[in-house]
C-alpha cells in the first residue's frame, strides 16, 4: 500500500491564509502590522534567494519586510550594532539573520544579539535552552521543527508514546526537533554522523525525521512498514534532462520508501513550504505580543481541524 503523501504546499497555503486574516485583524484593531527584518551577510546566491522568498511571503500576507544587506567581510561589532538598531525600532517585531554566516563570524554570538522576544527563527541560545527545560516555554520554536509538528497535527498523526528517530543534530532542525518531540512525550533517538549501525535504529522508528543533507541516505530497507517519514533534506543532484542542470531531492530515497511508509513528505513540496509559513506565524505572534501584550501559546492552533485517526 502506497504511503499517504503529506502535502506541505497545501498545508502552508492554509496557514498563510490564516496569518493574512490575523494580520488584517491586528491592523483594524491597533493600526499596526507585523514587521520582519531580514539580515543577509555576503552574497551567497542560495542565501539571497531564500531571503527574497521570505520577503515575498511577508508581502503576500501583509507583513512589512525590512531588508539589511551587509558585506561578507563585515566585522562582528558592526553586525551587533545593526541588530541592536533594528531591535530598537518598534515597527520591527521580528529579526532574522540568514544562515550560514561567513566563517569569521561566530554563529552563537551573532544570533545571541537578537532579543529573544524578536528571535522569530527560534535560534537564540535562550529560546533553544528553554525548549529543553521542563516547565519553561521558549518565545519561539525554530520554524522547520514547528512546521513539521504542524503537519503531523493537521494530519492527525500521534506523537505521544511513539518512537521518533531524528537523523541530524543541527541547531536549525535536528536538535530542536528532538527536544520538541521529547516535550510532546515521544521516545526520541537522535542519530548523527558517528552513530553506528544506523539502519538498526531507523527500522525501530514509528516516526523517522531525516535532516542530514545527504541525498537518498534513507533507503527502503531502513524503514519500518507503516512508519511516518519526514524528509527535511533539500539537495541538488545533477540532471542533464532538467533545464537547470540539476533537480532537487531529499535525504530519503522517495521511490523506495513511499511503498513501505504509512505517510511521507515529498521533496520539493513537503517541509519547505511549512518552514516559511511558520516564519510568518512566529512574526505574527511576535507582533501580537509586542503591540497588544497578547499571551499566545508557543504552538499556534491549527487553522484547520486535525484529521481523526491519522497513521497508526
- The span from the CA of 54 to the CA of 39, in Å, is 11
CATH number of 31-121: 3.40.50.10860
> Under CATH, which number does the domain 143-271 receive?
3.40.50.720
Distance (Å, rounded) from C-alpha 51 to C-alpha 128? 23
What is the pLDDT tens value at each position of the chain, 312 positions in all?
589 999 999 999 999 999 999 999 999 999 999 999 999 999 999 899 999 999 999 999 999 999 999 999 999 999 999 999 999 999 999 999 999 999 999 999 999 999 999 999 999 999 999 999 988 899 999 999 999 999 999 999 999 999 999 999 999 999 999 999 999 999 999 999 899 999 999 999 999 999 999 999 999 999 999 999 999 999 999 999 999 999 999 999 999 999 999 999 999 999 999 999 999 999 999 999 999 987 766 666 667 655 555 554
Helix (H, G, I), strand (E, B) or coil at 85: helix
Evaluate whether 36 touches 93 at the Cβ level (below 8 Å): yes
Do 286 and 118 meet the contact criterion of CB atoms below 8 Å apart? yes
Sign of the CA dihedral with 200 first, then 201, 204, and 208 last? negative
DSSP per-residue letters across 261-291: -SEE--SSSSHHHHHHHHHHHHHHHHHHHHH
Examine domains 31-121 and 143-271 and report if their fold is the same.
yes
* Residues with active-site annotation: 54, 98, 121
Domain boundary assignment for the chain: 31-121, 143-271
Please give the pLDDT value at position 1: 58
Q: Output the pLDDT for position 223.
A: 98
- Say which residue the cell 531571503 belongs to: 51
Q: What is the C-alpha to C-alpha distance for residues 30 and 270, in angstroms, rounded to an integer?
A: 35
pLDDT at residue 295 in the model: 72
Q: What pLDDT, on a 0 to 100 scale, did the predictor assign at position 306?
A: 56
Structure confidence at residue 312 (pLDDT): 44
Q: Give residue 177's pLDDT.
A: 98
C-alpha grid cell, residue 288: 501580537
- Residues annotated in the binding site, as ranges? 168-170, 234
Q: How confident is the model at residue 135, as a pLDDT?
A: 87
Q: Which residues are annotated as a binding site for NADP(+)?
A: 168-170, 234
Amino acid at each position: 500500500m502506497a504511503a499517504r503523501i503529506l502535502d506541505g504546499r497545501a498545508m502552508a497555503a492554509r496557514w498563510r491564509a490564516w496569518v493574512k486574516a490575523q494580520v488584517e485583524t491586528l491592523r483594524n484593531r491597533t493600526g499596526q502590522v507585523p514587521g520582519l527584518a531580514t539580515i543577509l551577510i555576503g552574497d551567497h546566491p542560495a542565501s539571497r534567494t531564500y531571503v527574497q522568498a521570505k520577503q515575498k511571503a511577508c508581502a503576500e500576507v501583509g507583513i512589512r519586510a525590512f531588508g539589511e544587506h551587509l558585506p561578507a567581510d563585515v566585522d562582528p561589532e558592526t553586525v551587533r550594532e545593526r541588530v541592536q538598531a533594528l531591535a530598537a525600532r518598534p515597527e520591527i517585531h521580528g529579526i532574522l539573520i540568514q544562515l550560514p554566516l561567513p566563517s569569521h563570524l561566530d554563529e552563537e554570538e551573532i544570533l545571541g544579539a537578537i532579543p529573544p522576544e524578536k528571535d522569530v527563527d527560534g535560534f537564540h541560545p535562550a529560546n533553544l535552552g528553554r525548549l529543553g527545560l521542563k516547565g519553561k516555554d521558549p518565545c519561539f520554536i525554530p520554524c522547520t521543527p514547528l512546521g513539521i509538528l504542524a503537519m503531523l497535527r493537521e494530519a492527525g498523526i500521534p506523537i505521544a508514546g511513539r518512537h521518533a528517530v531524528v537523523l541530524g543534530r543541527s541547531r536549525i532542525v535536528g536538535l530542536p526537533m528532538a527536544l520538541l518531540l521529547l516535550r510532546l512525550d515521544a521516545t526520541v533517538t537522535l542519530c548523527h554522523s558517528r552513530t553506528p549501525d544506523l539502519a538498526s535504529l531507523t527500522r525501530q522508528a514509528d516516526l523517522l525525521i531525516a535532516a542530514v543533507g545527504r541525498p537518498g541516505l534513507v533507503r527502503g530497507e531502513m524503514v519500518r512498514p507503516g512508519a511516518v517519514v519526514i524528509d527535511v533534506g533539500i539537495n541538488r543532484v545533477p540532471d542533464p534532462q532538467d533545464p537547470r542542470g540539476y533537480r532537487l531531492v531529499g535525504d530519503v530515497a522517495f521511490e523506495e520508501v513511499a511503498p513501505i511508509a504509512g505517510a511521507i513528505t515529498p521533496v520539493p513540496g513537503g517541509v519547505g513550504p511549512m518552514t516559511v509559513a511558520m516564519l510568518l506565524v512566529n512574526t505574527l505572534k511576535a507582533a501580537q505580543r509586542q503591540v497588544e501584550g497578547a499571551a499566545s501559546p508557543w504552538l499556534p492552533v491549527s487553522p484547520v481541524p486535525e484529521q481523526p485517526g491519522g497513521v497508526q
